[in-house]
Structure formats: C-alpha cells, structure tokens
Amino acid sequence: MKTMNRRSFFNTTALAGLAATLGGGARAGAATKTVPVPDRPAELNLCLQWNGIPGGGMNEKLDFLEANGFTAVELPTGKWLFDNGGAFQKAIQGRKLAVATACGPSDFSYADKARREAEVEKFLPQLEILGGLKSVGLILCPARKNVAMGFRELRDDFVNNTGRRLARHAAKHGTSIVLEPLRRGETPFLKLVADGASIARDIGEGAAVMGDFWHMAQEETSQMGAFLSGGNLLKHVHIASLKDRKIPGCEPKYDRYVDGFRGLKMIGYRGAVSFEGGIPKGGDRVKLIKAMVIYLRDQWAEA
C-alpha cells in the first residue's frame, strides 16, 4: 500500500478543512482522499471449496469452476490432500485457476505438550504438498472450543513455538499458514481479524490471516474495519449467507457484503473469496452457485 507523503497529506488535510466549510457533499468527497490507495486495484476472485463443487471427477469439477466464472479453488486437508495431491497437481496444469487455501480442523491449545507437538507434526507434510501446488496457504485455528491453556500462555506458545514452526516450514516451501478467527461459540480465543493479524505479524514470515463473513457478522464491529486491520496480511476470505450460513444470495434481506467489500477494495485485496456454507434443503446447487456469482459481482461493483 502506498503511504501518503507529507505534501499530499497536507493537501488532503487542507481539502478536508475546506470541505468542512462547504457542507456535506464536498466533505464526503474529501474524506475518501484520506483512505490509503493500494498499489494495484482489488480483484474479486470467486472460489469454491472442493467438496461443494458440482461434478464427480476431478476434471469435471475444475471444468465447472472455469466455465462459471471462478478463478480459484479451495482444497481439503488431511487424507484427501495426501491421496489426491499428486493427481490434482496434474489436473490443474494449464488451467486458469489458482489454488487458494486448504481447510481442515486444527487445535494447538491442548494442555499436553505432546498433543500440541503431534498437531504440528500432522501439518508439516501437508504444507509441503500445498507448497508444491503453489497454494496460498493452510488455514489454521490456534484453538477451538475447549482451550486448556491460559490465553497468554497459548498466544506465546503459538507465536514462538507451534505456529511459528509451521509458518517457517510453510515459507520454506513457498506457502503460508492462514489464521482463521471464529465465532465465540466455536472458540473464545481468536475471534477478530485484527487479533489474527496481530498474531500473524508477531509470528512473521509465513504467517497470514483471513476473514470469514459468517464469523465476522457476529464478532466484528465493522466489516470494513476488520478487513482494513488485516491489510497486507489478509490472504483469504470465506463467505456465506449471514443469517443461516447458506449460499450467498438466498437470504437477500440479510446478505449485504458491500461494507466488507469496500474494505477489501481499500487494501487492494486480490485473494480468493470462497463460499463456505450449505445449500438450502431441496435447492438446486448448480443454479444457486450461478446465482451467487451474479449476486456477489453486483455487490462488488456497488462497493
């Protein structure tokens, strides 16, 4: 992100002062000049999670993504990655699809050090596979519902030990760990994008953060503010309908993403916006996915 030099700051400040004397319309126009300008404009890169992509075979799923305006794909972790990573690498060659993240359960808050160690060991080889796929990163949650460590102890251990080791290993293989803040019912530990960004910053190389509109709808005081706090460390976004965590657009009364999208535009976000949620009972998955693409593009244009 470009930072304003002293001269342009003063020019903007002078403009804002002038606007204050001119009234509301001019004031609103000047206020936008104080927002940081990204080096490159943001892009909406829509993405689906592997198990939610229509189609049976690997190529059928990838064909569906390309034919329907998606530019990224999100993979499962664990057994799927070990069993299918090689075949997937071949299937994605020559396609205009980026490998966003891989998503699966994680927890580094066990009281037993050996269990925390086992959790690190579990993910080290998966990071190597993801690096080979040029994936953005591995989504991790430092803690889930039952946090057996004190918060300070857990943060220190994650920043200096478990999370750091995974992040460094990720960086070595050309990928990253991507911290996901959740809702309070799912974890009391990491709920805000700003907190995830601060943990990622403290870890340093190989660590990033993401935002999930579903979690953010309950936890954040400002969607735009949350994404601004993520800044350059924001590498992934999950999206769902905001009332029931279904596909965006099926509850249009609640599904407003414009404020968050404005934040993404301000930071020049070009990562994936990936649908993570359900399909309403009896709904036609293909039809609903096509409608979601239009729905989200409209709100991105409005932002």
CB burial of residue 281 (10 Å; 0-12, 13-18, 19+): exposed
Our finding on whether 276 is near Mg ion (CB under 5 A) is: yes
- Rounded to a whole number of angstroms, the minimum distance from the CB of residue 246 to Mg ion is 14
Which of 141/149 has CB closer to Mg ion? 141
Q: Does 236 bind Mg ion (CB under 5 A)?
A: no
CB of 219 to Mg ion, least distance (A): 12
The residue among 235 and 238 lying less far from Mg ion, judged by its C-beta, is 238
Give which of 280, 275, 281, 278 is closest to 295, Cα–Cα. Answer: 275
Segment 24 to 53, residues that bind Mg ion, using CB under 5 A: none
Q: Residue 30 or residue 45: which is nearer to Mg ion going by CB?
A: 45
The least CB distance from residue 274 to Mg ion, in Å, is: 8
Minimum CB–partner distance for residue 16 and Mg ion (Å): 38
Q: Which is nearer to Mg ion, 201 or 245 (CB)?
A: 245
Per rule CB under 5 A, is residue 235 in the interface with Mg ion? no
Nearer to Mg ion, 212 or 220 (CB): 212
The span of 39-47, 167-175, 218-226, 238-246 binding Mg ion (CB under 5 A) equals 238-246
Interface with Mg ion includes 74 (CB under 5 A)?
no
Count of residues interacting with Mg ion (CB under 5 A):
3
Query: Of these, 74, 212, 219, 220, which contacts Mg ion (CB under 5 A)?
Result: 212
When asked if residue 238 is in the footprint of Mg ion (CB under 5 A), the reply is yes
> Under the rule (CB under 5 A), what is the footprint of Mg ion?
212, 238, 276
